[in-house]
A and B are shown apart, each in its own frame.
Chain A
Amino acid sequence: MAKRTLLGRLGESVLIVFCIVTLNFFLIRFMPGDPVLHIIGEEEYYNLEVHAPQVIEEIRGEYGLNQSLGRQYLTYLGKTARLDFGNSYRTKAPVLETVLFRMKWTLFLAIPATVIAAFLGGALGLWAGWKPGGRFDLAATPCFLLISTVPTNCLAILFLICFAFQLGWFPISGITSGGLTGFAKGLDILHHMALPLAVLVLYKTSSNYMLMKSTVSLIRQEDYVSTAISKGLSQGKVLSRHVLKNALCPYLTSICMQFGGMLAGSMMTEIVFSWKGMGTLIYDAVNAKDFPMLQTCFLLISICVVAFNLIADLLCLAVDPRVREGMNHVG
């Protein structure tokens, strides 16, 4: 029964990805204007249109744009299946290579940020929610509330002004200073990473803290928590076995959403710190109307979201027997 549910969820995810792939194609195709205009640029296009319209036709043929829409779609599907996403309009380099390279740097920043913030926000939120109105809650909640109301790019610029520009503790921008190798290079990257990482961790921690705090402050009023205390369990055991376990499902779902959104989620921070990750890539691609690049980025982002959604469902399934049975009824 559980296997069938799993397969069902997996099939659902594959279907969603297919829909995204299709949407990705048609969205771009139905945009106003001649695609060739985007490929060769406005000035060149109007120049050619007047002086050598046959060149435009040649380019159109080269890109297969003179074929029927259905045929184009099939070609697109075939190439997507072979992970051939074409070349960038801007750099002419293969899109996938560029995207994967940039993705590596985004993940290098986003994975530690999400993991650290998950533990930090969870632990602090657990403590504040367990003792609402306590000293820690009164001190921490306004701070985290303030952080989560400030937009990330604003916080990032503040950090940049404070710690990089005024105090000079950290480099202003980039990933590495260049010319370094081995251990020194690693240290240099960490040095560059410190500020954007701090901004991301702070931001994610505050939202995790809020979620965990509100979940736990509800759970602590549940009868089963009194039951656990009445059994003579120590506070640590009440928290870990009874409170945390019940808070886990919503919290894990939220963390998985953060993982799902991590490819584009740190865009603002990346831009402020000139971190050459996917965020800046998308930003530049939008400005340059680099459609193949954008399409590939969007596709990867949506696959990431769908995949982590699936993981969130599976985690809740593992934690909560009620979810397991609920799904069995449907499956």
Chain B
Amino acid sequence: MLDIEHLSVRFGGASEAVSDISLSVGEKEKVVLVGETGSGKSVLLLAILQMLPASASVSGRALLDGTDLLTLSPREMNRIRGQRISYVPQGSGNGMNPLLSVGYQVGEPLMIHQNLSKKEALARAVAALRRFDFGQEEKLARQYPHTLSGGMRQRAMIAMGVAQGAPLLFADEPTKGLDGHRIELVVDAFRRLEDQAILCVTHDLRFAQEVAQQMAVLYASQQVEWCSKEAFFREPLHPYSQAMLAALPENGLQAETGFAPPREDSQLAGACRYYRRCPWKRSRCRENPPLFPVGDGRKVRCWNYGS
């Protein structure tokens, strides 16, 4: 339903924050984007929703059921946001307005897109909260965000994203700043969204393993691998994907060397962006590789898999 084609984002004269990313999200499909902080994951989501500041220039296409979202006017975009695509911001921050009750904020998209009265929207908001088994949902709806714990707030925001019933959900690091138990609650909340397609950004591999069907790995604003979750965790192809998995505790906690996040000066102009950190680098890698298809719809940006 969502096809992103050659999407790039540049802020002013700086280098690209998102560089030529292409991926697709099918009906009810769960796609997870992983990568280090600063790899351009969140910018990608905001670019598709046309929510970047005016200084950003976005190129490429983002087709939602055939309509290019990047060409829509702000007014037309207001009908897409919340109604066709809902967005779940990071919960550790200030994603909910501190002066409005949780119920009001969960029901707000319904008031706008379905012209429901405040009372009807509140009733639907309580129903949406109930889907996630908070307990005492009526009371929760009357509470203000600052009285909620981090995990509660994150789940309430997921409820806010799904209350409207948008077929596609964008989530920005839904587990950031949460402890293990609360992450489980968020995983549980995501698992209940069987009927919705999800495009989720995270740097939490374990969370990705729980919810993803399809994985995209981003490095230094470029997509370096695109594969199914099973393939990624069983047999990662790109050296960066392998390094990420090797850093997991069960795989020996081998920390990746080099700078994170990748900086301008840690890259060689025109070379593969992973060049400086790559254990397999050779002279060929002084030229940035394209995404090579390697079968089963899998793609890798590395000279070891094509030429």
Q: Is the beta-carbon distance between A232 and B82 smaller than 8 angstroms?
A: yes
Q: Is the beta-carbon distance between B51 and A229 smaller than 8 angstroms?
A: yes
For residue B75, which residues in chain A have a CB less than 8 angstroms away from its CB?
A: 234
- A22: min CB distance to chain B, Å: 40
For residue B164, which residues in chain A have a CB less than 8 angstroms away from its CB?
A: 231
For residue A68, which residues in chain B have a CB less than 8 angstroms away from its CB?
A: none
Stretch in B94-102, B185-193, B221-229 touching the partner:
B94-102
The B141-191 residues at the A interface (CB cut-off 8 A) are 144, 146-147, 157, 160, 164, 170
| 6 further A-B pairs in the complex, CB-CB below 8 A; given A223-B94, A227-B160, A232-B112 | A223-B95, A227-B97, A229-B81, A233-B78, A237-B112, A241-B97
Q: Kindly supply a per-residue 1/0 record for chain A positions 221-237, scoring 1 wherever the CB is within 8 Å of any chain B CB and 0 otherwise.
A: 01110111111111101
For residue B144, which residues in chain A have a CB less than 8 angstroms away from its CB?
A: 321-322
B293 contacts the other chain (CB 8 A): no
**Given the interface contacts A229-B51, A232-B82, A321-B144, does A246 sit within 8 Å of B108 by beta carbon?**
no
Q: Is the beta-carbon distance between B89 and A321 smaller than 8 angstroms?
A: no
For residue A319, which residues in chain B have a CB less than 8 angstroms away from its CB?
A: 99
B103 contacts the other chain (CB 8 A): no
Q: Is the beta-carbon distance between B87 and A227 smaller than 8 angstroms?
A: yes
The A191-237 residues at the B interface (CB cut-off 8 A) are 222-224, 226-235, 237
Q: Is the beta-carbon distance between A222 and B94 smaller than 8 angstroms?
A: yes
Residue in B86, B97, B98 with the greatest tally of chain A CB atoms within 10 Å: B97
Q: Is the beta-carbon distance between B82 and A230 smaller than 8 angstroms?
A: yes
B58 contacts the other chain (CB 8 A): no
For residue B64, which residues in chain A have a CB less than 8 angstroms away from its CB?
A: none
**Given the interface contacts A228-B97, A233-B112, A241-B100, does A223 sit within 8 Å of B82 by beta carbon?**
no
B79 contacts the other chain (CB 8 A): yes
B39 contacts the other chain (CB 8 A): no
Interface residue ranges, A against B (CB under 8 Å): 222-224, 226-235, 237, 241-242, 245-246, 319-322, 325
For residue A232, which residues in chain B have a CB less than 8 angstroms away from its CB?
A: 77-83, 109, 112-113
The B99-137 residues at the A interface (CB cut-off 8 A) are 99-100, 105, 108-109, 112-113
CA gap between A246 and B99 in the complex, in Å? 7
For residue B82, which residues in chain A have a CB less than 8 angstroms away from its CB?
A: 230-233
Residue in A223, A231, A233 with the greatest tally of chain B CB atoms within 10 Å: A231
B90 contacts the other chain (CB 8 A): yes
Contact of A322 among B87, B90, B146 (CB under 8 A): B146
Q: Is the beta-carbon distance between B51 and A231 smaller than 8 angstroms?
A: no
The B220-249 residues at the A interface (CB cut-off 8 A) are none
A-B contact pairs, 30 of them (CB 8 A): A223-B93, A223-B95, A226-B46, A226-B51, A227-B96, A227-B97, A227-B105, A228-B108, A230-B86, A230-B170, A231-B81, A231-B82, A231-B160, A231-B164, A232-B77, A232-B80, A232-B112, A233-B78, A237-B112, A241-B97, A242-B100, A245-B99, A246-B98, A246-B99, A319-B99, A320-B99, A321-B144, A322-B146, A325-B146, A325-B147
B302 contacts the other chain (CB 8 A): no
Q: Is the beta-carbon distance between A321 and B95 smaller than 8 angstroms?
A: no
B272 contacts the other chain (CB 8 A): no
B49 contacts the other chain (CB 8 A): yes
- A253: min CB distance to chain B, Å: 15
For residue A320, which residues in chain B have a CB less than 8 angstroms away from its CB?
A: 98-99
**Given the interface contacts A223-B89, A227-B89, A322-B146, does A234 sit within 8 Å of B78 by beta carbon?**
yes
Interface residue ranges, B against A (CB under 8 Å): 46, 49, 51, 74-75, 77-83, 86-87, 89-90, 93-100, 105, 108-109, 112-113, 144, 146-147, 157, 160, 164, 170
CA gap between A241 and B144 in the complex, in Å? 15
Secondary structure class of chain B's binding surface, majority of residues? mixed
**Given the interface contacts A223-B90, A223-B93, does A230 sit within 8 Å of B98 by beta carbon?**
no
Q: Is the beta-carbon distance between A233 and B51 smaller than 8 angstroms?
A: no
For residue A321, which residues in chain B have a CB less than 8 angstroms away from its CB?
A: 98-99, 144, 146
Q: Is the beta-carbon distance between A226 and B97 smaller than 8 angstroms?
A: no
Q: Is the beta-carbon distance between A231 and B109 smaller than 8 angstroms?
A: yes
For residue A237, which residues in chain B have a CB less than 8 angstroms away from its CB?
A: 112
CA gap between A223 and B46 in the complex, in Å? 12
Q: Is the beta-carbon distance between B97 and A246 smaller than 8 angstroms?
A: yes
CA gap between A165 and B173 in the complex, in Å? 66
CA gap between A227 and B90 in the complex, in Å? 10
For residue B96, which residues in chain A have a CB less than 8 angstroms away from its CB?
A: 224, 227
- B216: min CB distance to chain A, Å: 21
- B173: min CB distance to chain A, Å: 12
CA gap between A325 and B78 in the complex, in Å? 35
CB-nearest residue of chain B to A224 = B97
Q: Kindly list the 6 A-B residue pairs having the minimum CB-CB distance in the complex, ordered from nearest.
A: A232-B82, A230-B87, A232-B81, A231-B82, A224-B97, A321-B144
CA gap between A320 and B146 in the complex, in Å? 11
CA gap between A234 and B113 in the complex, in Å? 11
Contact of A245 among B49, B74, B79, B97 (CB under 8 A): B97
CA gap between A95 and B99 in the complex, in Å? 47
For residue B78, which residues in chain A have a CB less than 8 angstroms away from its CB?
A: 232-234
For residue B99, which residues in chain A have a CB less than 8 angstroms away from its CB?
A: 245-246, 319-321
**Given the interface contacts A227-B87, A232-B81, does A242 sit within 8 Å of B112 by beta carbon?**
no
- A81: min CB distance to chain B, Å: 42
For residue A322, which residues in chain B have a CB less than 8 angstroms away from its CB?
A: 98, 144, 146
CB-nearest residue of chain B to A131 = B54
CA gap between A226 and B52 in the complex, in Å? 10
CB-nearest residue of chain B to A232 = B82
Q: Is the beta-carbon distance between B51 and A230 smaller than 8 angstroms?
A: yes
Q: Is the beta-carbon distance between A231 and B112 smaller than 8 angstroms?
A: yes
- B296: min CB distance to chain A, Å: 34
Residue in A226, A242, A245, A320 with the greatest tally of chain B CB atoms within 10 Å: A226
Q: Is the beta-carbon distance between A227 and B98 smaller than 8 angstroms?
A: no
